[in-house]
Amino acid sequence: MEALLDKNRLKDWIAALDGWEAYAPARQDGIWSYQPAGDNPELNHPNTPQPPKGFAFPQREIFFKFEQVKGEAPRLTAVSPAPTFRVVFGVRPCDGRAVPRMDRVFSDHVDDGYYQARRDGLAYVGLACNTPPSRHCFCQSVGGSPVSTDGLDVLLTDLGERYFVAAVTDTGKALMQAAGALLAKPGAAERKEVARLHAAAVAQPQRGVNDAAAAPAKLKAGFDSPLWEELARACIGCGICTFLCPTCHCFDINDEVTGTVPLKGSRVRTWDSCQFPDFTMHSSGHNPRDTLGSRLRQRVSHKFRYFHENFGMHQCTGCGRCVSECPVGIDIVRVVNEIAGSV
Amino acid sequence: MIDLNALRTQAADILETGEVGAVIGWRRGSRGMAAEPVAIVAPEEAASLVWDPTCFHNLALYLVEERKKPAQRQVHGGKPIAIVAKGCDARAVTVLLQENHFGRDDVYVIGVSCEGTGVLDERKLAQVLPGVEPDGAAFDGDNFVFATSEGERRVPAREAMMDRCLECRNAHPKLNNVVFGEETPRDFDAPFAALKRFEQRPAAERWQFWQRQFERCIRCFACRSVCPMCYCDECVVDSINLVVTPETTAAEKADRVRWIERSASRADNIGYHMTRALHLAGRCVDCGECERVCPVNIPLRLLNNKMEREAREAFGYEPGASIDLPALVASFRDDDPGQFIR
């Protein structure tokens, strides 16, 4: 299903999505982020520093609440995300490609009910990258593309005054059907223009990982390379690279106590980061990953080796956030290329 | 104007003579045009050192113990470490000296003066030159000059430099073994100018503002990790907020107080940032790195500037001004104001 939508009717399409909460990138306090779609959302954003992963995997998830009067059995109250229908506009193809990866993680061994409950009512309307949103993009070298539809329900292509709207999934078709007469039928000229734009987007030069297919074996061979410590020497051990990553999904679980008589609180899941020193610390105080290099190795190997060993695909989608946002310029592309080049 | 070759020669010389074991400076990185921190140990590596408007990092953090000192751990060999330091960075080294992280003879400060400019704010540049991603940046008098695919672009430094540089307390590093560049008169904003403007807003509006800022925090701790003054082994926000050794008992571990939850909720985020601001009072030198690295753009300098000004007004204390002064929180004078303990 393909159609044309006047850009100034995007707001009307959103209004017509009865029962859906709509989100779109907005710039507030000098920073782009996904916000409830305002009166007139314009999809003219670079990529947002934070990916849309929080819609299905929020930084804080309450698993259940507990309460225990002294001497009595604890009482547990189940908490599960309220069913909602949410549609996220303006998702870049790299972030779209993160979706099936996260889906695998949260459904492979265990069906994560919290993730699924949020994911079930979630739709992504992507926006093709006619021009790269950033010089740090490297989607093509990791099997993606600036016009990839992977993980998206609809893909928009900017034609200047209009969007070319293409459904990818049945959910996407339903979203488009809700637009009714707002959508116009595309002609041969528009289709040709989309094909031209997509071909031009793919032809734009991009930096990248030299040989992603070889990366798992190379990283395995280079596991003990002294280069890891060398490449991590400037690392300050913060969580930017992992928290802003569209596919990083490690978490911690804690009981947050809000009262003691009776004892009560919540068990919550929060994002965690393999870059924090306490991530792997044992209760003895021993830390098997106590150097910056070993933690960099973990992050990069997860993206380009372990995930591939588990699921047959690279976890990294080449969005470039860990490169652009790193306070000291640690560059995953350089790391993979240097390690791979050394073995 | 700094002669980069002279700086490189200096770095090579002190490595050659063995006066220092390593030089921490900047080199060309692979993240766009930005420089990146580097520790060099061989004289011939000095040719890779750079000095340009993307040298925004405060390298003093690499002088600090433990997780922040891999460079030092690797190359120390008992010799002093040299560090290339801007005015603000040198003030940070001063505070670390006051706090006895190392002795004056353990560090060799290669000062670089920002002269009439400062370092680049990449977010501002994206507004000033939208859609342009330059390949290089250089100082040129009052301007930044950017190399782009369409030739040189010249931008008045005032329009694209960090806010912290507009309010710089001292762009010429006072603490130094050698210094490059001139002490140039500057005509930007007075220190605390932005804070003053902010404080004119009504209290309710400010509270709303801060609630919105802290709501956004994702607790990546980049502000803490990048801060040379945030070096505690135990941090109030960590899940393991005590130093655990094989001797630590199970009871000690179980009884640790969890002051701030792991959740990035607004209340816990406020707890974190307030704690950090208070711990920086009289120590923060306004290098502004916390604000630069924040991925969600929280204006952390406003908080730290507030504490800095409190210390200045109450005790006439200027953090990082001199190694001959004791640390503010470690000193007492008979004439210290004591209204708050009546």
Nearest of B173, B271, B254, B164 to residue B217 by alpha carbon:
B271
Query: Distance between CA atoms of A52 and B213, rounded to whole angstroms?
Result: 19
Instruction: State whether residue A126 is helix, strand or coil.
Output: strand
Instruction: State whether residue A75 is helix, strand or coil.
Output: strand
Looking at the structure, tell me whether residues A129 and A269 fall in a common domain. Answer: no
Q: Left if phi > 0, otherwise alpha if psi is -120 to 50, otherwise beta: which for A320?
A: left
Query: Which of residues 137 through 196 in chain B touch A, CB cutoff 8 A?
Result: none
Looking at the structure, tell me whether residues A219 and A139 fall in a common domain. Answer: no
Query: Distance between CA atoms of B80 and A263, rounded to whole angstroms?
Result: 54
Quote the pLDDT of residue B71.
45
Query: B76 with B70: CB under 8 angstroms?
Result: no
Looking at the structure, tell me whether residues A149 and A21 fall in a common domain. Answer: yes
Instruction: Note the maximum CA span of chain B.
Output: 66
pTM for the model: 0.95
Looking at the structure, tell me whether residues A41 and A3 fall in a common domain. Answer: yes
Say if the Cβ atoms of B36 and A135 lie within 8 Å: no
Structural domain including A297 reads: 208-343
Q: Is residue A18 part of a domain?
A: yes
Q: Is residue A17 part of a domain?
A: yes
ipTM of the complex: 0.94
Query: B217 with B273: CB under 8 angstroms?
Result: yes
Helix (H) / strand (E) element for B148: namely strand B143-148
Contacts of residue A83, defined as CB under 8 A and 6 or more positions apart, other chains included, come to: A117, A120, A121
HSE, side-chain direction, 13 A CA sphere, residue B108 = 20
Write down which residue in A207, A226, A260 finishes a domain.
A207
Strand pairing category for A162-167 and A2-6 = antiparallel
Q: Is residue A159 part of a domain?
A: yes
Query: A180 with A9: CB under 8 angstroms?
Result: no
Looking at the structure, tell me whether residues A225 and A283 fall in a common domain. Answer: yes
Query: pLDDT by residue for chain A (343 residues), tens digit each?
Result: 999 999 999 999 999 999 999 999 999 999 999 999 988 888 989 899 999 999 999 999 999 999 999 999 999 999 999 889 999 999 999 999 999 999 999 998 889 999 999 999 999 999 999 999 999 999 999 999 999 999 999 999 999 999 999 999 999 999 999 999 999 999 999 999 999 999 999 999 999 999 999 999 999 999 999 999 999 999 999 999 999 999 999 999 999 999 988 999 999 999 999 999 889 988 888 889 989 999 999 999 999 999 999 999 999 999 999 999 999 999 999 999 999 999 9
DSSP A127: E
Looking at the structure, tell me whether residues A92 and A140 fall in a common domain. Answer: yes
Strand pairing category for A86-91 and A122-127 = parallel
Query: Distance between CA atoms of B35 and B113, rounded to whole angstroms?
Result: 17
Q: Is residue A65 part of a domain?
A: no
Query: Distance between CA atoms of B147 and B150, rounded to whole angstroms?
Result: 8
Task: For residue A172, give how far its alpha carbon lies from the nearest alpha carbon of chain B (Å).
Answer: 30
Tokens of B92: 């940070």
Query: Distance between CA atoms of B340 and A205, rounded to whole angstroms?
Result: 63
Query: pLDDT by residue for chain B (342 residues), tens digit each?
Result: 899 999 999 999 999 999 999 999 999 999 999 999 999 999 999 999 999 999 999 999 998 855 455 444 444 567 899 999 999 999 999 999 999 888 899 999 999 999 999 999 999 999 999 989 999 999 999 999 999 999 999 999 999 999 999 999 899 999 999 999 999 988 899 999 999 999 999 999 999 999 999 999 999 999 999 999 998 888 888 877 777 888 888 888 888 888 899 999 999 999 999 999 999 999 999 999 999 999 999 999 999 999 999 989 989 999 999 999 999 988 888 888 777 666
Contacts of B220 in chain A (CB under 8 A): 238-240, 243-244, 273
Query: A219 with A300: CB under 8 angstroms?
Result: yes
Buried b (16+ CB within 10 A) or exposed e, B254-271: eebeeebbbbbbbebbbb
Write down which residue in A207, A228, A248 finishes a domain.
A207
Tokens of B268: 């816990």
* Residue type, position A47, single letter: N
Query: B306 with B277: CB under 8 angstroms?
Result: yes
Say if the Cβ atoms of A327 and B292 lie within 8 Å: yes
Looking at the structure, tell me whether residues A170 and A278 fall in a common domain. Answer: no
CB nearest to A236's CB, from B68, B263, B297: B68
Helix axes A292-301, A332-342, angle to 10 degrees: 90
DSSP A315: S
Query: B81 with B52: CB under 8 angstroms?
Result: no
Q: Rounded to an integer, what is the distance from CA B153 to the centroid of its chain?
A: 28
Query: Which of residues 245 through 284 in chain A touch B, CB cutoff 8 A?
Result: 252, 254, 256, 268, 270-271, 273, 276-278, 281, 283-284
Q: Is residue A64 part of a domain?
A: no
HSE, side-chain direction, 13 A CA sphere, residue B46 = 24
DSSP A209: -
End-to-end CA distance of chain A: 48
Query: A29 with B208: CB under 8 angstroms?
Result: no
Q: Which residue of B has its CA nearest to A255?
A: B261
Edge-first strand listing for the sheet containing B143-148:
B136-140, B143-148, B151-156
CB nearest to B263's CB, from A30, A256, A324: A256
Looking at the structure, tell me whether residues A116 and A4 fall in a common domain. Answer: yes
Write down which residue in A144, A172, A207 finishes a domain.
A207
Query: A32 with A198: CB under 8 angstroms?
Result: no
Query: A66 with A264: CB under 8 angstroms?
Result: yes
Query: Distance between CA atoms of A272 and B220, rounded to whole angstroms?
Result: 9
Instruction: Note the maximum CA span of chain A.
Output: 76
Query: Which of residues 304 through 343 in chain A touch B, CB cutoff 8 A?
Result: 323-329, 331, 333-334
Looking at the structure, tell me whether residues A163 and A252 fall in a common domain. Answer: no
Looking at the structure, tell me whether residues A6 and A49 fall in a common domain. Answer: yes
DSSP B129: S
Per the structure, the count of domains in chain A is 2
Query: Distance between CA atoms of A150 and B144, rounded to whole angstroms?
Result: 42
End-to-end CA distance of chain B: 53
CB nearest to B295's CB, from A244, A271, A286: A244
User: Is B135 an interface residue toward A (CB < 8 Å)?
Assistant: no
One DSSP character per residue, A132-166 reads -S-TT--GGGGT--TT--TT-SEEEEE-SSEEEEE
Looking at the structure, tell me whether residues A156 and A285 fall in a common domain. Answer: no
Say if the Cβ atoms of A243 and B297 lie within 8 Å: no
Query: B222 with B293: CB under 8 angstroms?
Result: yes
* pLDDT, tens digit, 9 for 90 and up, residues A14-48: 999 999 999 999 999 999 999 999 888 889 898 99
Domain boundaries, chain B: 1-182, 189-320
Nearest of A119, A95, A90 to residue A107 by alpha carbon:
A119
Q: Is residue A70 part of a domain?
A: no
Q: Left if phi > 0, otherwise alpha if psi is -120 to 50, otherwise beta: which for B257?
A: beta
